[in-house]
Amino acid sequence: PFVVTENCIKCKYTDCVEVCPVDCFHEGPNFLVIDPEECIDCTLCEPECPANAIFPEDDVPAGQESFIALNAELAKAWPVLTERIDAPADAKEWDGKTEKLKLLER
Ligand code: SF4
Ligand code: F3S
């Protein structure tokens, strides 16, 4: 499956959800995750993310491995999102910032 990683936190552009054929994105307050049990590896979402936050599970950037389990965990807790919604007003300012994991809201 594909995995949403750290740079989505506080950016949450949601361009990704619109292309997913199986609606496997789940939405939290300031982050989105992919349900690994539903993702069919179609690859469509990866190039849609303006923050380049989506990676195949076996190719997540070094240091981001914990996001694999985090996507699986939070997909069970959060509701499905199927349509693009407005990004946070300050999304651009957060794009590329590091150590955003501590800012994740559940
Ligand atoms: Fe959805 Fe395809 Fe992305 Fe998986 S790879 S989350 S199926 S768009
Ligand atoms: Fe996040 Fe990128 Fe989707 S910022 S909400 S993974 S388009």
Concatenate the DSSP letters of all residues of 51-96 into one string.
Answer: T--EEEGGGPPTT-THHHHHHHHHHHHSPB--S--PPPTTHHHHTT
Query: Does 41 fall in a domain?
Result: yes
Query: Does 22 fall in a domain?
Result: yes
Query: Does 12 fall in a domain?
Result: yes
48 lies in which domain range? 2-81
Predicted pLDDT of residue 63: 96
Tell me the ipTM for this assembly. 0.98
Amino acid identity at 47? P
**Number of structural domains the chain divides into:** 1
Centre of ligand 1 from the C-alpha of residue 9, in Å: 18
| Residue 55 Cα distances to 82, 86, 101, angstroms | 19, 22, 17
Centre of ligand 2 from the C-alpha of residue 12, in Å: 5
- Report pTM: 0.98
CATH (domain of 26): 3.30.70.20
Predicted pLDDT of residue 45: 98
Centre of ligand 1 from the C-alpha of residue 101, in Å: 22
Ligand nearest to the CA of 25: 1
Query: Does 91 fall in a domain?
Result: no
Each residue's pLDDT expressed in tens, for the chain with a length of 106 residues = 999 999 999 999 999 999 999 999 999 999 999 999 999 999 999 999 999 999 999 999 999 999 999 999 999 999 999 999 999 999 999 999 999 999 999 9
Query: Does 17 fall in a domain?
Result: yes
